[in-house]
Every structure is written in C-alpha cells, then in structure tokens.
Amino acid sequence: MASKISKPLVKITEALQPLLDRFDTDGQFGIVRLTRMWPEIVGDTIARRTQVSSLKFHTAVVKVSGAMWIQELNLMKPQILARLHEKVGADIVRDLRFVQGRLARGEHSKLRAVPRATRHAIELPELKNPELKLAFQRLIEAWGRAPR
C-alpha cells in the first residue's frame, strides 16, 4: 500500500483569499467586513452615532450624526486607523473621511433609553386669587405631561 503524502494544514482564510480576490474586483467584500467590524473597532458609543457609508479608493466614508462628533473623530483618526489596520487589514482602508448625514436606524445605531427620575407633586403656596391659583395648577399639569 502506498503511503499518502500529507500537505501542511492551511487556514481556511488563506485558502479562500485568492478566490475572493479574484471575484471581488470592485472591493465590495471589504466594505462588508468593515461594516460588520465597525462597532467592535470604535466601540458602542461611537458606533451608535456613526455609520460606514462607502469605501472608495481605500478611503472609508463614515456618516456622522453631528459636527461635534466629526471634530472628535478627526482627532481620534490615528487611533481608529490603527485599530482598523489591526482588525481588517491595512490594504482595505488607508484613510477615513467623516461626513455629516442622517443615519439609518439599524440594530447598531439604536440609542438606549435613559431612565427618567420619578416625578413628585409640587406643593403651591396658598394663593388668594382663584384665577392665579388655577393658572399655576394648569401650568404645572402641562409641565408634568411634557416629554423630556
């Protein structure tokens, strides 16, 4: 009986990568990996206020909920890029561009509800004028119904 020649074991990612590279001429798989890894790379707080929009010429375009966040993320860009290169690879994303835009409310971008403090009744001082007393009562009731 002839002995079998065994080949060294190869990770499945190494075996499939040449095949994926051949099929992915437009770089679409890179954006999928980036979108899935984004919350892990930047953390929950930033992920809720950002959304990976596109990947063009190795530059990830990220929609951000506000101008203040754009400024903060531009200051954090070197750290985010380092994490990106570590998790996704330096060949996919070389730069980040943050743009302001409306975020799609998906599963990652949901904001958590903040528990409200318990409302307590407010005791009014004794008012002599019945019209003034009624006006204050209505004002306090409207204030209690207002959303916060």
Q: How many domains does the chain have?
A: 1
- Residue 49's domain comprises 24-100
Cβ neighbourhood burial of 64 (10 Å; 0-12, 13-18, 19+): buried
* 129 occurs within a structural domain: no
* 13 occurs within a structural domain: no
CA separation for the pair 81, 95 (Å, rounded): 7
* 54 occurs within a structural domain: yes
43 torsion bin: left (phi>0), alpha (psi -120 to 50), beta (else): left
CATH of the domain at 79: 3.30.300.180
* 128 occurs within a structural domain: no
pLDDT of residue 114 exceeding 90, the answer is no
Among the listed ranges 6-10, 89-93, 103-107, 134-138, which one has the minimum average pLDDT value? 103-107
* 112 occurs within a structural domain: no
CA separation for the pair 95, 84 (Å, rounded): 10
Name the residue with tokens 């499939």.
16
* 77 occurs within a structural domain: yes
pLDDT at 109: 44
Q: Global pTM?
A: 0.54
* 90 occurs within a structural domain: yes
